[in-house]
Amino acid sequence: MKDSLSRYILFVYLLPVFFVLHGFTGNYNLVPVRPALKLLLIYLLAALAFLILFQMLFRNIYKAGLLSFLLMGYYFFFGAVQDMLYKAFPGAFLSRYSFILPASLVVFIFLFIYLKKTKKPLLKTTLYLNALFLLLVLVDTGWLISKLVIRSINEVVPKETLARCSNCPAPDIYLIVADGYPGKTQLQEILGYDNTAFEEQLRQRGFHITDSSLANYNFTFFSMSSALNMNYLNGVSGSIQNKKNIPAGSRALKNNQVLGFLKVQGYHFFNYSHLDFKGNPSVAKPTFWINDTRPLTQQTFLSRLNRDLGYHLVTTFRIKPADPFPIYLDLQNNNQLFSETIKTVSYKSTGPKFVYTHLIMPHHPYYFDSLGNKTPLSSLTKEFAFDKAAAVSYIVYANKKYLELVDMIIAGSAKPPIIILISDHGFREIKEDKDKKTMFLNLDAVLFPGKDYGGFYKGMSNVNLFRVILNSQFKQQLPLIKDSTVYLKD
């Protein structure tokens, strides 16, 4: 065994296996399996490419393996080391890219020269690295198995008693989530905009608008998980980065009670959101960090460069990226989800439809102004998200798009539908701490076929929205719960 561990450079491949396995297990229920396996395959191919290249240069498999290992390790753990430098030397020259990148290049040139000249067989180094990473992979495998086998005895949300209603009308239901749409008070006091004209347009179409409505969480993933379960998420608090929060929100969302009830009622579910549900994954390209591999890759070298320096291509060097797709990803998704929703209106299903459409609008990036003119690529920066005038202009544009969508649904429906137009949270791009409490103020507009809105009340929050809807439209007897908010740090 010892002889084998000294002879074969397994550590070159064990490193990417450990990196992906450790990240996947640490972010369990957050990163999907298939994208994680695809990422692992990419890393393994990259390791093989480095190995072939350096084997050609060194004519020594052990030297080639060690340099490949060091380069891959630098790539994987760049962010973690960078954070250590920031913490140890805040604001110092040692923690800046102007020092880190040239210093890294010098170190690797030195390593290359050293390995080229050295006569050491590197068998002990190979033995040590093989043994270390085999042990690490085995430990993480055990950790993953424990997560697969052991399940929490506590429910994420209390289960409600929901009875099937056999004689209810069962109209089509359209849940439209306008991501980041502010409430009336926030619009007036923080953004300085009077949205009365939009509200009047909705009322003319028969909508009821809840006064002073609230989202219960200030982040989409937890807000929608809570709303679709008609309750708060047990144990979810502190920060969205807390690894305990993610599995709780994920389990609750994928198996939410509203969707479960409507399926029992015979509804066909159409998922035009960015979120994954059990048996109904998102059709959009991932932008939310809860359904792609970003939790694994956010500390890597290229991810950090893109995060910290990528904007210089546009703002400093005036270089237009060859493929601006990532910047316009939310826009492409919005267009696709909008289009799919319209198609579904006329789709003849064997039962009633429950359509969940979630558009990243008026949430930044602010792609258009109030007249529909496209925002220049150079303006779509992180700082531009705090431009209140641009936010208001995009809200005016969004108002037109949501009214257009509502009108198409009403006109194309065979019988009057239920339309729920809400936001998952309000405007979040606020620098002043005293104003951050307003980010829970949201939009809550509902259209019922019978226009009976007796169950709605001032200050209602999203956890009670579907309680009122199911009580009113499906003869349930769900008690209302206390309306409150849970602030989660970024």
SS3 427: coil
Nearest to 184 by CA among 19, 399, 15, 377: 399
- Is 379 a domain residue? yes
- Is 159 a domain residue? no
Residue with tokens 């005036």: 318
- Structure-derived torsion over alpha carbons of residues 439, 441, 446, 451, reported in degrees to the nearest 10: 180
51 or 121: which leads in pLDDT: 51
SS3 298: coil
Cβ neighbours for 204, distance < 8 A, ≥ 6 positions apart:
none
> Domain boundary residue among 81, 114, 149?
149
Nearest to 207 by CA among 449, 445, 464: 445
Pair 126, 243 in one domain: no
pLDDT of residue 323: 46
281 or 49: which leads in pLDDT: 49
Pair 241, 119 in one domain: no
Pair 338, 421 in one domain: yes
User: pLDDT confidence of 41, banded at 50, 70, 90?
Assistant: very high
CATH code for the domain of 217: 3.40.720.10
Pair 67, 208 in one domain: no
Ranking 14-28, 82-96, 98-112, 184-198 by mean pLDDT, the lowest is 82-96
Pair 135, 187 in one domain: no
Pair 225, 124 in one domain: no
Pair 78, 188 in one domain: no
In whole angstroms, what separates CA 345 from the centre of its chain? 27
Q: What is the mean pLDDT of residues 39-56?
A: 95
Ranking 28-37, 107-116, 179-188, 307-316 by mean pLDDT, the lowest is 307-316
> Domain boundary residue among 86, 116, 149?
149
- Is 256 a domain residue? yes
| Rg of the chain (C-alpha set) | 26
SS3 370: coil
Pair 195, 314 in one domain: yes
The Cα-based distances of 34 to 24, 293, 462 in angstroms read 11, 10, 33
Per the structure, the complete domain to which residue 438 belongs is given by 173-474
- Is 315 a domain residue? yes
Cβ pair 15, 73 in contact under 8 A: yes
- Is 165 a domain residue? no
| Nearest-10 crossing angle of helices 61-88, 33-58 | 120
Ranking 192-196, 384-388, 431-435 by mean pLDDT, the lowest is 431-435
pLDDT of residue 312: 57
Pair 275, 345 in one domain: yes
216 or 161: which leads in pLDDT: 216
Cβ pair 258, 466 in contact under 8 A: yes
In whole angstroms, what separates CA 180 from the centre of its chain? 14
Neighbours of 395 (CB within 10 A): 23
- Is 167 a domain residue? no
Pair 219, 126 in one domain: no
Residue 38 main-chain phi, psi, to 5 deg = -65, -40
- Is 369 a domain residue? yes
Indicate the number of domains in the chain: 2
Pair 141, 177 in one domain: no
Is residue 94 over pLDDT 90? Answer: no
User: pLDDT confidence of 139, banded at 50, 70, 90?
Assistant: very high
Query: Does the model's pTM come out above 0.85?
Result: no
Label residues 428-451 b or e (16+ Cβ within 10 Å = b): bbbeeeeeeebbbbbbbbbbbeee
- Is 168 a domain residue? no
Name the residue type at position 472: S
Pair 85, 23 in one domain: yes
> Which residues make beta-bridge pairs with 446?
208, 420
